[in-house]
Structure formats: C-alpha cells, structure tokens
Amino acid sequence: MNRYVRYAGAVLGCILGAALVLSCGGAKSNKLMVYAALNEDEVGTIVEKFKADTGIEIEYILGGAGDMSARVQAEKASPNADILVGGSVDIYGPLAQDGLFEPYDSPNNDSLDARFNDPSHLWQGWYMGVLGLVINRDRFQAELASKGLKYPVSWDDLLDSRYYNVFVSSNPVTAGGAYIFAACQIFRLGEAGAWDYFKALDRNVHHYYRGAGECILPVATGEFIIGMSWVHDIYKQVKAGYPIDVVIPQQTAYEIGGVAVVKGGKNTENAKKFVDWLLTEPVGRMNTTNSNRYSVLASVPSPEGLPTLDEVNLVNYDRTRASDMKNAVVEQFDRDIVSRRQ
C-alpha cells in the first residue's frame, strides 16, 4: 500500500511541478498583440521582419492614433494589446498618466537624445515626422494660380478665401496628426489667436477626415486641391507618381513617434523585445526607407528626397504642455468647431 501511496504522490508532485513551471513563465509565448497607428504596408513589413528576427508572431489592429489610444483606455480593466506603436508621444502622455503603460527602459536608448526617452520610461520615441501640405499640382495651376495664388508658405496663407471648399484636414479628436496641428497653432499664435485661427480656417475646410493620412489620396486624385497631413505619407504618393507636391510651411511641428508596453498585456516580455528591436539600426533604416520618416538614431540618414530636420523651420513645440492640454483642446475643438459645422 505504501508503494502505491508513494507512486501517487510522485505523480501528483510532477503535475504540480509542471503547473508551477508554466505559471512562472516556463512556456515561452511567441505571440504579440500590437495596436498600430501606422500605415498598413509599414506594419506588414514590421510583422515579417520581427518574426524573421525573433520568431515572434505579431497580430495587430490598425487605426488612427486617437482611435488606438481610446481603445487602450477603454480596455484598461482587461487589456487586449501588448504594444501601442505609432502616433505622437503627445497622445501617449495622458495614457501614461492614467497608469496604462508598463515602465520599460530599453538598453538600446542610451545613446539617444533625451527628448526621445520618457524620464519615467513609460513610452519610447523611435521616429520623427513633420507636418506639411499636399497640393494637387494640376488643379492648383488651373484653378488657383489663375486667380493669383502661389503655393502657401505659412499656415496663415490657408485662411485665404480662395481655398474655400478645396481644402481638407482631419479631426483632432480621432487623428494624432490633427492634434499636433492644433497644438502647433497654439504654440505659434497663443491660445486666443489659435482659436480665432481654427474658426477662420474652418470656413475653408470642406470636411475633416478621421485620420491625417486620409487627406492625401483625395488630393492626389484631384477630388480636392490641398490638404494637411504628414510629409512622409505625402511623399509616398509623390513617389507613386501622382501629380502632387509637398509643401512644409514655416513654423510647422514635428511628432516624435512613440511605442509603449501596455500594462497588463499577456505578452509583456515579447513587448519589451519589440521595443528593443525598434531601436536597432537595421530597423531604423528599414523604417526610414519604407515610410520616409526620420529616425531617432543618429546613424540613420534622413529620408532620401526630403530636407533634413535642420533645414525645416519648426515651431517652438512644448511637448509636455502639448500632452497636458490634449484632452482639453480636443474637447474644445469638438465643441466649438466640429459640432458647429452645418
């Protein structure tokens, strides 16, 4: 009888031991759930390269930075994502303050400029993008140049009434780029001047898209003449052969594109590996080539065909203030601009 007791005890011990190993992470996950505020072709390249380099398979959901951040916020009690990637760190600030990110200080960020590293290690900058204008060259020459208009050189030039109903933009409530555009005007003109500017510009806006990138193709195909978007996304369509030009207005803003580990995600260790991977030079070069974005790595050259950041006239952009005022600005924009449109 004792022999059977000893045997049963040994079996039970093996079962409990196996369960303990699994609960302590002995079975490694090869999955990663990513919420991405990036273009689909860029995410596809990231998925393939990350799996080739690490063996980890990415599942992802795409959307605008505003939509993706709202999703992370809504899932706070039971997170579905392991990683939030893409979109400006301005969007990440409120989420970090709400305790939605897991602190992680990547060993690959030691050589980066301090502006790219969150002091609390709740988000990490890995690329930069500049705001600009997309202009349909053919329609501009046919319809606006004949009225004496030249390409705009400043954001104020967009207030000209000849841009009525041929200009499109995006909504700061849902688009990270549109929020940075709004913050840019606040830093450029002051609070009161910026809200006067938004109301005046709204008279020329045909409509607001959900995402900043959505403005480009309708201009490229001639549905509209001019739109506000990211220079890197506009330049993709320039290279695709559309009759469009890129204009970077004076006193424009730039984003620091972010990545963060979502607190409570199911694959936290893989999420940390993803952050480390993004900060390697081969991935930085790949992203700059594929997306025309600027890398935070000094060893990666500027996108071919675009000016260096030193050549761009940038507004004095206070990123901490931009993050702190985001909720108030988008609420006011929705209330005073978007909701009042007829």
For residue 22, tell me if it sits in a domain.
no
Domain that holds residue 207: 130-254+322-340
Judgement on whether residues 99 and 237 belong to the same structural domain of the protein: no
Q: How far is CA 335 from the centre of its chain?
A: 24
Gyration radius of the chain's alpha carbons: 23
Same domain? For 148 and 212 the reply is yes
> Do 262 and 332 lie in a common domain?
no
Kindly state the tokens that stand for 27.
């079975």
Residues 218 and 85 in one domain: no
Residue 18 belongs to some domain of the structure = no
Residues 152 and 238 in one domain: yes
Do residues 290 and 180 both lie within one domain?
Answer: no
Residue 338: CB atoms within 10 A of its CB come to 16
Residue 183 belongs to a domain: yes
Whether 201 and 58 share a structural domain: no
* Structural domain includes residue 171: yes
Domain membership flag for residue 23: no
- 250 and 260 within one domain: no
Burial of 20-34, coded b for 16+ CB within 10 Å and e otherwise, reads eeeeeeeeeeeebbb
Q: pTM of the entire structure?
A: 0.81
Same domain, 259 and 240: no
Looking from the CA of 130 toward its CB, the CA atoms found within 13 Å total 27
> pLDDT tens per residue, the chain (342 residues)?
444 444 444 444 444 444 443 444 445 789 999 999 998 999 999 999 999 999 999 999 999 888 899 999 999 999 999 999 999 898 898 899 999 999 999 999 999 999 999 999 999 999 999 999 999 999 999 999 999 999 999 999 999 999 999 999 999 998 889 999 999 999 999 999 999 999 999 999 999 999 899 999 999 999 999 999 999 999 999 999 999 999 999 999 999 999 999 999 999 999 999 999 999 999 999 999 999 999 999 999 999 999 998 899 999 999 889 989 999 999 999 999 999 986
Residues 184 and 332 in one domain: yes
Asked whether residue 112 is domain-assigned, the answer is yes
CATH code: domain of residue 263: 3.40.190.10
Q: Do 68 and 149 sit in the same domain of this protein?
A: no
Note whether 196 and 278 are same-domain residues: no
Task: Give the Cα separation of 302 and 292 in Å (integer).
Answer: 8
Dihedral Cα 38, 259, 168, 218, nearest 10 deg: -10
| Residue 327 belongs to some domain of the structure | yes
Query: How many domains is the chain built from?
Result: 2
111 domain-assigned: yes
Please give the Cα distance from 10 to 295 (Å, whole number): 57
